[in-house]
Structure 1
Amino acid sequence: MVDFLTLSPIALNFGPFHVRWYGIFIASAVLIAVYLSMKEAWRQKLNEDYLYDLILWAIPISIISARCYYVIFQWSYYAQHPSEIIAIWDGGIAIYGALIGGGIFMYWFCKNHGLNIWQIFDIAAPTVIMAQGIGRWGNFMNQEAFGAHTSLTFLEHLHLPNFIIQQMFIDGFYRQTTFLYESIWDLSGFALLMIMRHSDKLFKRGEIFLAYVMWYSFGRFFTEGMRTDSLMFGPLRISQILSIFLFFGAMGLMIYRRHKINNLVWYDYQN
């Protein structure tokens, strides 16, 4: 029998200040991603000073972009509650906004500092999808990114721990654990990309990143279709539109580069 004691989104209290689990998961995901990316960058003998500068700017720009993206598509609400626009600690960041903003900045930075943009994207891609998978647990603590109504029996048949089932009792109904589906998809993609990245002469430069885009957008299309809190553009789910565009765009670009560009560099992890 499941009781209905949900987990608190607040991890620690310091007087009027609260440390939320959402922030802890996001910060932890970013720190792990930075460490793993830097480790690979060192292995590839890239300039550390440039990379530290890139990370120092890319992280806050990505967070701001993610929040701006979310606020834009929820403007009918935030126009009436402008004081909540900066309340990022309550949730409400969109990963596609972070990827767009962070990606544009990384492209500009690499162009201005003589770094190979495809190499940098390849280094970051596996750790980004890992961070996305961890970050979904922040949504779990805030009871966000959930799916349609379901039954207790269905959730129990998934053999989920009770604490997950309890947290999925929202507004009087059990909900589909779409946060969990996407987290598992993302972490599986991380493991797969890491294994494939270190397979000798499997990828050419830029293809690790393109494989990440295809993997993530494919899974996101389906999990987004199950959610009930999607950002919408009229009757369409914004993330599904982007997922379609990104999946076929990345696939087409990978095919084009393989057939039309002759000097692509193979990754050779034996040397």
Structure 2
Amino acid sequence: MVGTVNRVAFELFGIAIYWYAIIIISGVVIAMWLSSREAVRAGLRSDDVSDFMLAALPLSFIGARLYYVLFNIEPYLQDPMQIFNIRSGGLAIYGGLIAGGIWLYFYCQRNFISTWTFLDIAAPSVILAQGIGRWGNFMNHEAFGGETTRAFLEKLHLPDFIIDNMYIDDAYRQPTFLYESVWNVLGFLLLIFLRKKTGLLKQGEVFLSYIIWYSFGRMFIEGMRTDSLYLFGPIRVSQLLSFVLFVGGWAVFIWRRKKVKDLKDYNRSRGDNEYLI
């Protein structure tokens, strides 16, 4: 038995439209809207975000797929055409972030935009989109953890539709998708709070705070999942990468504060002293 929620939202001209796709696209649209508002406040054009996303979105999907395939290569060597079958699942968020980050660097260089500023603008929106996107995993009956009991899930005060959908392969499962979604939404609220504090964060530090927050939570949540990609032995790819990013994020944060002269404050006040999200 696999959950109770139907993965298919509806059919359009005989083609199944999955909740996963609807939720992911919704997260992207919300992220673009929030980032565009912040871009204007930070002195950029709102079109800078949409122009960036024209290439970033497909590249991120390709990166997410390649990351998943490379660290789960065996079944795809047996049937290479399955690499293109993304409707069956198999996207890794870290792969998407890496591909999107590489494109962001080149985009900023080409358009004479500060890479750090663009990263700061995007970071809160990205972690919110990640939080929304995890509900796509819920609808797909994936990204769940080890076995647990219904009594434990009820103690978390979860609604029945979540508890019922966590009954997978004849056992109740830890809702790790939910743990990460909540962690990401809390991260979004924290970043917005920190970003609004004049003089608190320097340029680039909204993004570094995102890296530190997200990777710290992912380190622990990944260890609870049953569908992790493994590098070798018991070493989970995303858990190791999260550790590297957590340590690296703090190292860059401290190094920039000590070594980079004249770091500008991220927050720029407006005439009416209001701040957009």
Question: TM-score range, shorter-chain basis?
Answer: over 0.9
Match of 1:130 in 2: 128
Say whether 1:213 aligns with 2:206.
no
Shift of 1:199: 1.0
Q: Note the alpha carbon deviations across 1:25-70, whole angstroms, 9 max, x for none.
A: 1000000000000010011221344433211111111111001111
2:92 corresponds to which letter in structure 1? A
TM-score (norm 1): 0.95
Shift of 1:114: 1.0
Q: Note the alpha carbon deviations across 1:108-130, whole angstroms, 9 max, x for none.
A: 11112211000000000000000
Partner SS for 2:197: coil
Aligned partners of 1:22 and 1:91 also within 8 Å: no
Q: Note the alpha carbon deviations across 1:230-259, whole angstroms, 9 max, x for none.
A: 000112100011011001101000000001
Match of 2:238 in 1: 239
2:8 corresponds to which letter in structure 1? I
Pick the aligned partner of 1:79 from 77, 80, 86: 77
Match of 1:224 in 2: 222
2:165 corresponds to which letter in structure 1? Q
Shift of 1:196: 1.0
Partner SS for 1:79: helix
Partner SS for 2:60: helix
Aligned partners of 1:198 and 1:269 also within 8 Å: no
Match of 2:258 in 1: 259
TM-score (norm 2): 0.93
Match of 2:103 in 1: 105
Partner SS for 2:266: coil
| Correspondence list, 1:54-93, <5 A | 54-93=52-91
Shift of 1:83: 2.9
Partner SS for 1:226: coil
Q: Distance in 2 between matches of 1:66 and 1:14?
A: 26
Give the number of aligned pairs: 269
Match of 2:198 in 1: 200
Structure 2 gap ranges (5+): 271-277
Q: Distance in 2 between matches of 1:222 and 1:5?
A: 24
Partner SS for 2:223: helix
Aligned partners of 2:2 and 2:168 also within 8 Å: no
Q: Distance in 2 between matches of 1:4 and 1:145?
A: 13
1:268 corresponds to which letter in structure 2? N
| Change over 3 Å in CA distance of 1:4–1:17 after alignment to 2 | closer
Q: Distance in 2 between matches of 1:122 and 1:54?
A: 15
Q: Percent identity?
A: 51
Pick the aligned partner of 2:8 from 10, 21, 24: 10
| Change over 3 Å in CA distance of 1:101–1:262 after alignment to 2 | same
Q: Note the alpha carbon deviations across 1:178-216, whole angstroms, 9 max, x for none.
A: 000000000000011011111111100000000000000
Pick the aligned partner of 2:182 from 181, 184, 205: 184
Structure 1 gap ranges (5+): none
Shift of 1:80: 2.3
Say whether 1:29 aligns with 2:27.
yes
Q: Distance in 1 between matches of 2:134 and 2:4?
A: 17
Q: Note the alpha carbon deviations across 1:4-36, whole angstroms, 9 max, x for none.
A: 860100001124301100001100000000000
